[in-house]
Structure 1
């Protein structure tokens, strides 16, 4: 019953809107084709450039394979992953500050998505190469193979499937992106997600919006199901990777990190000269800062509960398959579903926004290692069941103590995303309720330097929420340890 309840929570926007609005006609085919083409093109180009840059950076990470350089590699990997884990508003502000004029449309979306995903691709590719081909690379090096020959005849054929699945994963993430196309898409870069938003917000064509969201979700679901297959394991042992390591990849890390770190730092310094303009907003800043913390902690708590909910319902084959293939509903659709469900004044946005962000984030958190944690405990659960333990006892004495800290870490990441959210909040809130919403307002008015200064408060709020989530989960882990 609990499994059915979680499934219903995740697919509730579709079920609710299908009961409220009837699909009486097919959307305009020209408009649908144009939006789908934009979504497909920007996602495909984003995946290709993320993989190309990521592969180059991965070669740089492989150059730091000795015990002496492991710490430096760890720092560079964090630097690579930072754009992917930070809310999109930070990369948007940095890129808009450095690249002037910024190319709005498909090109702009691809630039932002590539900056956000190249590091993730690099870290995953470097790890895959080490674990699957370490011994082969060492043997090829001893036999005198050249780098380019091994890349062409060895690495690419052997990792073709892994590279394809990684590219497909990035494609799926970019295809369903909403915040980035909303800001830098412009009139020529309208994607399916933005078209759904416009159908509801501007023309109140709910039937068309529901059908568009359904078609988009079916398409992404099919790709996600393919991308979730092919996970494999490989034994890793230290190997000599000099054949592939390339220090030029480290220069790429430096260059791209310069774009988003220097751009942000430069805008922050310039914005400090205009800090006097915030004096009249002191009251709003305080309340919106508290609003960011409330939203972040609410999402962190709900995601923690959601992850533990999944753990309690584990294992069940159909449940695991659903979570692996499930795609979060359209951001616009999920938000507008909650918008028409009950009042939107007073404290209601502080209830609706966390619910929306949790429904949209939970599956991403599941794929960020939660499924691996559950699979790692599978043998313990099997033994406990064979000895007559109940599901509640197994959860209380085996799963919860071992999973609480990991759940707190993932919930903390979700709380950071919530503190930096502006797209969901912009739909569900009738006024600025958080620092991220104030920042987006300044950014839309082309006051980038002021927006960058203001966004620093998002970092503070996100750090507070993250520490609370991580610290609270550790306390619970110790308290309920057997």
Structure 2
């Protein structure tokens, strides 16, 4: 019950605010559109800990409870409004650009363009976006785990309770298969797009004041950054707080980097395997429809498979994190990159080139950039992940889990410092692994 209410509320707020932000994007100058889109997407790109910290800071400023439905909805909306805004903007550019430009030339009223063209012709896509955000909130795990309180705020938390509390694997697996089917259906329903058209084509209409455009489009990102600084700055003025972290802090830093680097390495191997397979046609649709499985079942399943041995525990953790994040990265970066090279692959096949030659001479050199990006993002996300790490290990193995414990104890000042250092390590790993991929690719 609470899961459905939370998901529907989060999706509704995200869609309404995201649509409004998309209209602001459409009225922004061509010079600023891409930068504003990046700013809108960043809150959803950051580790969930930063969003949790923002929710706790905002509720603290307002004197409200930091647990329950309201703060979970706020955090989910904060993460998803940018995704909805950019999605609506791209749909308008791809499908309605000519009609809107013609209506603008003929001096059609702004309200008529929005109501009779955008809303009327994109209502199906908007409905799909609503249900996609609904499914993302419905299956969210990290944020409801910390901020949900006594209520079961998401489907993943429900599965977690069935396994951890009631040891009811039969019902948990039923829920998991339902969840995977539910999410996969909406992924398949998403409208496919030509990535190059989205990047190169821009549209400008509307007369919203630019200060208003900047204020609203930058508000989610600035709120997240300000919440982080609001916790870090007071802690830096009280240096004795840092001594509470002790030497254990540096051990956790090393372990976080190890997990990030290992997951990045696994993602590189997966990318090269996918590049070698070069999925086209029906096989590509299968890979596009794959969704990340339940984090809870992945965690418990790998625990049962590998046992409690410390060295195997780290292996299972890297494998589990890779399973969770790689499907998103494949659909985001690798699949579009492979599609852009499809014509070259077909030409090489006509000329008699084999699969290995196509991979080594055509695909591999041109996939270095997206593979390096995927590996960097994988490491960044893994270093900032806490829910699956805590689930599988039950102890403070990484900085993210340490930050989670601090936030749960309302140590927002110290938690902010740990989160900032965690993000710094994520970027360090990103730069390092990206350089390693480029060096080895050029040498080979």
Answer whether TM exceeds 0.5 for this pair: yes
Match of 1:393 in 2: 357
CA distance in 2: counterparts of 1:453 and 1:208, whole angstroms:
40
Say if 1:201 and 1:381 are closer, same or farther in 2 by CA, change over 3 A. same
CA distance in 2: counterparts of 1:94 and 1:473, whole angstroms:
34
Say if 1:329 and 1:64 are closer, same or farther in 2 by CA, change over 3 A. same
Q: 1:77 aligns with which of 33, 37, 41?
A: 37
Say if 1:172 and 1:307 are closer, same or farther in 2 by CA, change over 3 A. farther
Match of 2:165 in 1: 202
2:212 paired with 1:242? no
Match of 2:368 in 1: 404
Tell whether the 8 Å contact from 1:132 to 1:234 is kept in structure 2 after alignment. Answer: no
Tell whether the 8 Å contact from 1:307 to 1:407 is kept in structure 2 after alignment. Answer: yes
Say if 1:98 and 1:271 are closer, same or farther in 2 by CA, change over 3 A. farther
CA distance in 2: counterparts of 1:232 and 1:154, whole angstroms:
22
Q: Which runs of 5+ in 2 are unaligned?
A: none
Deviation sequence 1:250-291 (CA, Å, 0-9, x none) = 322243334212111111112224442332433111110011
CA distance in 2: counterparts of 1:129 and 1:328, whole angstroms:
28
Tell whether the 8 Å contact from 1:335 to 1:427 is kept in structure 2 after alignment. Answer: yes
Q: 1:132 aligns with which of 70, 95, 99?
A: 95
Match of 2:58 in 1: 98
Larger deviation, residues 297-306 vs 209-218: 209-218
Deviation sequence 1:280-312 (CA, Å, 0-9, x none) = 433111110011111111111111211221121
Match of 2:47 in 1: 87
Q: 2:395 aligns with which of 413, 431, 437?
A: 431
Tell whether the 8 Å contact from 2:4 to 2:138 is kept in structure 1 after alignment. Answer: yes
> Superposed, which structure 2 residues align to 1:94-173 within 5 Å?
94-100=54-60, 101-102=64-65, 104-173=67-136
Q: 2:308 aligns with which of 344, 349, 357?
A: 344
Offset at residue 437 of structure 1 (A):
0.8
Give me the TM-score of the superposition, normalised by structure 2. 0.92
CA distance in 2: counterparts of 1:213 and 1:58, whole angstroms:
34
CA distance in 1: counterparts of 2:304 and 2:434, whole angstroms:
34
SS of corresponding position for 1:282: coil
CA distance in 2: counterparts of 1:276 and 1:239, whole angstroms:
52
Offset at residue 404 of structure 1 (A):
1.7
Larger deviation, residues 38-47 vs 390-399: 38-47
Match of 1:25 in 2: none
2:15 paired with 1:51? yes
Q: Which runs of 5+ in 1 are unaligned?
A: 1-36
> Superposed, which structure 2 residues align to 1:274-293 within 5 Å?
274-293=238-257
Tell whether the 8 Å contact from 2:137 to 2:154 is kept in structure 1 after alignment. Answer: no
Q: 1:60 aligns with which of 24, 34, 40?
A: 24
Say if 1:233 and 1:331 are closer, same or farther in 2 by CA, change over 3 A. closer
Tell whether the 8 Å contact from 2:184 to 2:291 is kept in structure 1 after alignment. Answer: yes
Tell whether the 8 Å contact from 1:134 to 1:238 is kept in structure 2 after alignment. Answer: no
SS of corresponding position for 1:347: helix
Larger deviation, residues 101-110 vs 179-188: 101-110
CA distance in 1: counterparts of 2:286 and 2:338, whole angstroms:
15
Say if 1:254 and 1:240 are closer, same or farther in 2 by CA, change over 3 A. closer
Tell whether the 8 Å contact from 1:138 to 1:243 is kept in structure 2 after alignment. Answer: no
Larger deviation, residues 417-426 vs 302-311: 302-311
Offset at residue 239 of structure 1 (A):
7.0
Offset at residue 459 of structure 1 (A):
1.3
CA distance in 1: counterparts of 2:138 and 2:259, whole angstroms:
26
Larger deviation, residues 99-108 vs 209-218: 99-108
SS of corresponding position for 2:247: helix
Tell whether the 8 Å contact from 1:59 to 1:246 is kept in structure 2 after alignment. Answer: no
CA distance in 2: counterparts of 1:239 and 1:103, whole angstroms:
40
Q: 2:380 aligns with which of 416, 435, 442?
A: 416
Offset at residue 88 of structure 1 (A):
0.6
Say if 1:321 and 1:238 are closer, same or farther in 2 by CA, change over 3 A. closer
CA distance in 2: counterparts of 1:155 and 1:246, whole angstroms:
21
Deviation sequence 1:341-382 (CA, Å, 0-9, x none) = 223243333211111011011110112132111111111111
Deviation sequence 1:36-71 (CA, Å, 0-9, x none) = x333332232222222212222222223224xxx1x
Match of 1:41 in 2: 5
